[in-house]
Chains A and B, each alone.
Chain A
Amino acid sequence: MPFAAAGLGQQFLDSFTFMGNNTSHLLHDTLATIALSGAALGVALAVTLPFAVWLGHLHRGSGMAIRIANLGRALPELGLIAIFLAILGIGFLNVMVALVIVGIPPILANTFTAVDGVDPDVVDAARGMGMSELWIVFKIELPLALPLMFAGIRTSALFVIGASPLAAIAGGGGLGEIIVNQASYGFDGVLAAAIWVAALALLVQALLALLQRAITPEGLKAQARARGEKVVVGISDAERAMEATPSHA
C-alpha cells in the first residue's frame, strides 16, 4: 500500500505538470463543459421552476411531484445518453437533453417542497392585506422558499457537472474528451481533467451559494442570524427532501 500511495502522489504531481503544459487545451474543454452543463441546467430550470412553483402555490400534486423526482433519480445517466443516441444521434443536443433530465429531479422536488411548505398563516395574512396571488408568489412564497430551492439547484448543478464527462462518449465535447481518451492524453491527462471537473463542481457550488446570499432579502438574513441558523443550507438537506417519498401508493 505505501507504494500505491507514493505512486498516486507522483501521479498527482504529474497531473499538475500536465495542467501546466496543456492549460489552453484544458481551458478550451472546460469552457465546453461549462457551456454544456450551463445550457442543461438553464433548460432544466426554465422547464421545472414555473411548474414546481405553480404546483407548490396551489398545494397540489405533492405525490406526483415527488414521484417524478424519484423516478427521475433512478434514470442512469449513461443509459439516458444511450437512449438519446438512438433517438437524436451523436452530438451536443443528445447529451444536453440527457443532462436536462438528470438535472430536473432535485429542482422539482425542492422547489415544490419549499413553496408548498411556506407557512400558511403568512400567506393568509398576505391575502388578507389584499395581495394578488401573483404578488404572493413573488413577494412572499419565493423569498421564503429560497434556501431549500437553492439547495435543490446546487444539487442539480452537482449532478449535471458530475455527469457531463459522460457526454464525451456521445460526442458532446468538454473535459470528458480527455477523460475517455487515456490513449492520447495519458493517465496524467485523465487525472488532470478529473481534478478540473471536481474543482468546477465545487466552484459552481460556491458561486451559487454567493448568489443565494445576494438575493435573499435582508430581513430574512437578519432573522436567520438571530436564530443562529445558516442562511445557506447544504446539499444534504436537499437530498433529504428528495428522499422523503411518501411510501409508494
Chain B
Amino acid sequence: MGLLIAASGPVIPNFGGASDKCAVNNGFFCWNWFTQHWGSTFGPAVVQHIILTAIAVGIGFAIAFALALLAYRFDWMETPIAGISSFLYTIPSLALFQILVPFTGLTRLTVEIALVSYTLLLLFRNIVTGLREVPEEVRDAARGMGLTQRQILLRIDLPLAVPAIFAGLRVATVTTISLATVAAFVVDEGLGAPIFDAISRGNFKTEFVAAAALAILLAWVADLLLVALQRMVAPWAAKRRSSVVPRSVVRAIRGRRRPISAVRET
C-alpha cells in the first residue's frame, strides 16, 4: 500500500511538468493540465470507475433480489438478513477494504466484495418493501382470476414493485460510485486513484478537484440514466408518484388509519 498520507511528514511537491505554470504554482484548477492528463489519467479512471460500480451493483442486485424473494416467501428470514446487511453497512469502508486484503489480496475482487456488501442493505430493503406494498386487493383479484402463486409474483408483485426497486437501485448506484473512490486505497483503479496520487504529490489541487468533480458528475449522470430507464421499463410509475414520499410510506410510518386521500398532497 505505497501511499502517502497527507499528514505524515514532509512531501516534496511535484505538481505536474515544469512547463505548466499554473500547475507548478498549484493553482486551484488548471484546465491545461487537466486536458493534457485526460488521456493518461482521468479518462481511464472514469472507465474503471464505471466498471467497478457496474459489477458491484449488478452482483449486489442479483444477491439482494434472491434474498428479497426468500424473505418475501418466508417472513422469518427478513430480520436476520436485514440485520446482517445493516451490520455490513456500518463497517467503515476504508477498513473493510483492508480487512479483506489478507484473504483476497490487492485485487479487484477485494474491492468488489466490499462494494457489493454495501449495496445489499439498500437493495434488499427496497425490494422487500416494494413487494410487501402491493395492495392485498390486487393480489386477491389475481387469485380470483385463477393466477398461480408464481404468476402472481411475476405478473403482479414484481411489476408493481418496480418503482421501489428502482428507488433502491438509484441510491445503491450513487452510494457505490461514492464508495468506489475509496477503493483506490487497495487497487490503483477508479477516480480515487488520482486523489491518492494528488496526496502523494504533496496535495496537488488540480488533481483533487478534477477527480472529485468527475466522481460527482458520474453519480448524477448514473442517477439520471436510471430515472430514464425506469420510465422505459415502467412508464406508469412516473404518474403514480406525485407526492414527495409514497403515501404508503407515510402511512406506514405514521400508522394512519385514514383514507389515503386524507394524506396531504404536495
**Chain A contacts to B: CB under 8 angstroms:** 4, 7-8, 11, 59, 62-63, 65-66, 70-71, 73-80, 82-83, 85-87, 89-90, 112-113, 116-117, 119-121, 144, 147-148, 151, 158, 162-166, 168-171, 176, 179-183, 187, 190-191, 193-194, 197-198, 201-202, 224, 227, 229, 233, 235-237, 239-248
**Which residues in A have their C-beta under 8 angstroms from that of B237?**
247
Per-residue interface assignment for chain B, residues 62 to 91, with 1 indicating a CB less than 8 Å from any chain A CB and 0 otherwise: 000000000000000000001000110111
- B6 contacts chain A at the CB level, 8 A cutoff: yes
25 contacts between A and B (CB under 8 A): A11-B102, A63-B244, A74-B223, A76-B191, A82-B212, A86-B203, A90-B6, A90-B7, A113-B245, A116-B244, A165-B93, A180-B5, A182-B1, A182-B98, A187-B98, A190-B99, A194-B96, A198-B87, A227-B255, A242-B171, A245-B167, A246-B241, A247-B227, A247-B230, A248-B224
Across the interface, B255 reaches (CB within 8 A) one of A183, A229, A239, namely: A229
Q: A193 and B95: CB pair below 8 A?
A: yes
Q: B209 and A148: CB pair below 8 A?
A: no
Residue of B at shortest CB range from A247? B238
The CA of A117 and the CA of B253, in the complex, are separated in Å by 11
**Minimum Cβ distance to chain A for residue B149 (Å):** 26
- B12 contacts chain A at the CB level, 8 A cutoff: no
Q: A162 and B98: CB pair below 8 A?
A: no
Q: B266 and A169: CB pair below 8 A?
A: no
Q: A171 and B6: CB pair below 8 A?
A: yes
The CA of A11 and the CA of B102, in the complex, are separated in Å by 10
Given A202-B90, A244-B167, verify A86-B253 contact (CB < 8 Å): no
Q: A82 and B244: CB pair below 8 A?
A: no
Q: A78 and B167: CB pair below 8 A?
A: no
Q: B177 and A74: CB pair below 8 A?
A: yes
- B52 contacts chain A at the CB level, 8 A cutoff: no
Interface size bracket, B side: 35 or more
The CA of A207 and the CA of B117, in the complex, are separated in Å by 26
Residue of A at shortest CB range from B250? A117
- B246 contacts chain A at the CB level, 8 A cutoff: yes
**Minimum Cβ distance to chain A for residue B108 (Å):** 18
**Minimum Cβ distance to chain A for residue B196 (Å):** 8
**Minimum Cβ distance to chain B for residue A34 (Å):** 14
Residue of B at shortest CB range from A113? B245
